[in-house]
Amino acid sequence: MSIIVAFLVFLTLVTIHEFGHFIMAKWAGIKVNEFAVGMGPAILKKQKGETLYSLRIFPLGGYCAMEGEDEDSADERSFDNAKAYKRLVVILAGAFMNMLLAVVAFLIVNMQSGFTDLSIDKIEANSPAYIAGIQENDEIISYNGKKPLLFLELRNMIINSKNESDTLTLKRDGKLINVEIKPELATIEDNGKTIEYKKIGIMPKVRYDFIGAFKESINTCRYAFRSMFDFLGRAFKGNVKKNEVSGPVVIIKTIASAAKVGFSSVMFLLGLISINLAFFNLLPFPALDGGKAVFILFEMITGIKPNKKVEYIVNIVGFSLLILLFLFVTYNDIKGLIR
């Protein structure tokens, strides 16, 4: 059952993405030849107007086939004949829908399980926070000058700090105050190993209100984007380990494990993967939506339409590199599972 849930999550992610392209293509007056859920041979097909709607056998993909998107077409309603701004909206709509799905998924989790904000609920006795004079109901504004979006990010800032003492900016009774704090070392047992980490001894408030949950959902997406930009920066510097990059095998295994834990775990992973998918698709790399958007933006800025053959070749090269990346991460996934 958990494996079925994993495949359904994948199918939802792709279907929502392609639906974004589909609905905006209809808005732009672009002819959509087929909207497919899944890949491979069709199980069900229904022609409605100009569009063929199909359900296909492999639940790991889908597509929105627009007239003239990848080939020349004389049809006046082809993708290539639409105005540039409309084509740009259509291309970006898939990633937008994944962002929207992520917000909704995180919102459901926050409303069901509660969420922590940056307000302090409790302080451990004799902890660094207690010694520094931090009080209950103080709101954390920044840590060493950097504003955390989530309590999780604050915790990571504390753990990763190289300083002997840090500066914590708080809001108390409408006023901003700075306090110096010296994190202490604590230990935790993880799979038989003792791990040391830094802490300051505060507990955040747990809330369930809709407005707060919605804001927290937006901040979770923002934090995910920030983390992915950080990952890209480290990747360009060669500071990324193999186990930091996961492919479909590990993702399916992780979702299946989450399904055994409960609904909230699945929804959180759905949101996390969806926001990652949005970010990945927006990268200005050939064959991705971001790469296609670059060609359209070039046309909008210069008034020169890129050569269709050149664009096709660039996208084929990009797609080939993506396939190689897919094979590499899948190989690493399988290798890791065997170990």
Burial of 289 (0-12, 13-18, 19+ CB in 10 A): buried
Residues paired with residue 171 on neighbouring β-strands, in sequence order = 139, 176
**Residue pointed to by tokens 């962002």:** 99
Greatest distance between any 2 Cα atoms in the chain: 76
Q: Please identify which of the residues 18, 69, 153, 216 carries the catalytic annotation.
A: 18
With contact defined as beta carbons under 8 Å apart, do 55 and 40 qualify?
Answer: no
- Residue 182's region, left for phi above 0, alpha for psi from -120 to 50, else beta, is beta
Structure tokens at 330: 């899948």
Confirm whether 184 is a catalytic residue.
no
Order of strands, sheet of 202-207, starting from the edge strand that comes earlier in the sequence: 175-181, 166-172, 139-143, 115-123, 202-207
What is the separation of C-alpha 162 from the centre of its chain, rounded to a whole number of angstroms?
Answer: 29
3-class SS at 43? strand
With contact defined as beta carbons under 8 Å apart, do 337 and 254 qualify?
Answer: no
The dihedral built from the CA positions of residue 83, 85, 91 and 97, taken in this order, carries a sign that is: negative
> Catalytic positions, please?
18
